[in-house]
Every structure is written in structure tokens, then in C-alpha cells.
């Protein structure tokens, strides 16, 4: 089931997420370098997910809040999506299910989309449909949600999935452009 947890854990994740948003706003206003900061955060998302896949355990509230904020950005959500494969999909289901349960309401959709995709990739279409229904009722225009809906409606088997190559990710094209200048 795709439930929402409350309590002190969820409050701590929400407080950590708010602090990250404040940092991003301050960096964007004071330095005008939000793009560079987001590229650095994309690398952090990549490292954090790879670390989780090597040693799965619930993320502490600060890390959970930060990851939830980062995957709210579509370009950074793509980074998380690109880390998914058929072999690691069950671990992604665990990660994103835990994060959607602890997320503040305004940050559930990004993690929910990743949960839906990971569920489909793991062969759990029922959980994918539940995640879609739960997290995308208010934002049916979300690209990842539309992708998962199309996969489910067309009965596409997860075996056809090939992970997204890093050089195809938009956020890292920004990084390459910065390095070339």
C-alpha cells in the first residue's frame, strides 16, 4: 500500500526540506548561480541513490528532506530515474515508498512518480497504479506520470526498459556547457 506516515519523523523530514528550499532560494538570489547549484545537487542525488543501493537503509530526516526537494525538480528527478534498472528496481521501490510516506504533502509528487516507475519496472503494476492515483491526481501533466501511464496502458513489459545514459540527462548538459565556457 502507498500510505502517508505522520508523526515526528515526517515533521523532521518536512523541517529539513524547508531548510533546503531556503538554502536554494538564498543561493539563487544572492549569487545568481542556481543552475550551477542544481548541477551540484544532481551529482549529490546520483551519489546518494548509489549509496542507498549499495547499503539500503532508511535515510535520516535531513537527507530524506533534501532528496525530496531535489526530485521535485524535473531535471533532478530524471537523475534519480536514470539510476533505475530491472535488477535494482525493488530497492528503488523501497526507497521511494519510504520517502513518499515521510514527505510533506507538497513534496510527494516527485518521489511518487519515481515510486510509480520503479514499481512498474519491478513488475508490480498494481503498486504503480496506486502511486499514480495517489500522487498525480492534482498534476496529471507530470512527464514521468504520463510515461508510466503509457507503459501500463500499453501493457509494455519492464524487460524493454534500458536505463537512461548519463549524457542524455538535461542537467548534465548544463554542466558540460559550463565546463566548455
- State the pLDDT at residue 56: 96
What pLDDT, in 10s, does the model give residues 25-42?
666 655 556 677 788 889
Which grid cell sits at 143? 512527464
pLDDT, tens digit (0-9, with 9 covering 90-100), for 45-102: 999 999 999 999 999 998 999 899 899 888 899 999 999 999 999 999 999 999 999 9
The residue-averaged pLDDT of 125-141 equals 82
pLDDT of residue 170: 85
Question: Is there a contact between 57 and 91 (Cβ–Cβ < 8 Å)?
Answer: no
pLDDT grade, residue 180 (50/70/90)? very low
In degrees, to the nearest 5, what angle opens at C-alpha 78 toward C-alphas 67 and 174? 100
So what's the pLDDT on residue 179?
45
CB 95 within 8 A of CB 56: yes
Using the 8-state DSSP alphabet, how is residue 137 labeled?
S
Confidence of residue 137 (pLDDT cuts 50, 70, 90): low
What is the pLDDT averaged over residues 97-110?
Answer: 90
How far apart CA 110 and CA 97 sit, in angstroms, is 12
Between residues 66 and 179, which one has the greater pLDDT?
A: 66
DSSP codes joined into one string, 22-90: HHHHHHHHHHS-HHHHHHHHHHHHHHHHHHHHHS--PPPHHHHHHHHHHTTSHHHHHHHHHT--TTTHH
| Backbone CA torsion sign across 40, 11, 80, 91 | positive
Amino acid at each position: 500500500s502507498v500510505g502517508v506516515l505522520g508523526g515526528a519523523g515526517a515533521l523532521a523530514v518536512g523541517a529539513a526540506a524547508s531548510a533546503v528550499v531556503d538554502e536554494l532560494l538564498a543561493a539563487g538570489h544572492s549569487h545568481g548561480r542556481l543552475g550551477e547549484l542544481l548541477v551540484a545537487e544532481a551529482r549529490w542525488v546520483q551519489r546518494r541513490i548509489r549509496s542507498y543501493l549499495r547499503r539500503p537503509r532508511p535515510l535520516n530526516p535531513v537527507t530524506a528532506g533534501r532528496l525530496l526537494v531535489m526530485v521535485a525538480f524535473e531535471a533532478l528527478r530524471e537523475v534519480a530515474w536514470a539510476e533505475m534498472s530491472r535488477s535494482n528496481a525493488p530497492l528503488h521501490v523501497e526507497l521511494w515508498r519510504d520517502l513518499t510516506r515521510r514527505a510533506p504533502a507538497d513534496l510527494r509528487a516527485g518521489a511518487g512518480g519515481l515510486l510509480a516507475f520503479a514499481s512498474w519496472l519491478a513488475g508490480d503494476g498494481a503498486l504503480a497504479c496506486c502511486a499514480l492515483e495517489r500522487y498525480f491526481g492534482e498534476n496529471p501533466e507530470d512527464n514521468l506520470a504520463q510515461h508510466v501511464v503509457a507503459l501500463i496502458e500499453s501493457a509494455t513489459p519492464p524487460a524493454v526498459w534500458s536505463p537512461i545514459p548519463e549524457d542524455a540527462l538535461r542537467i548534465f548538459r548544463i554542466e558540460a556547457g559550463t565546463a566548455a565556457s
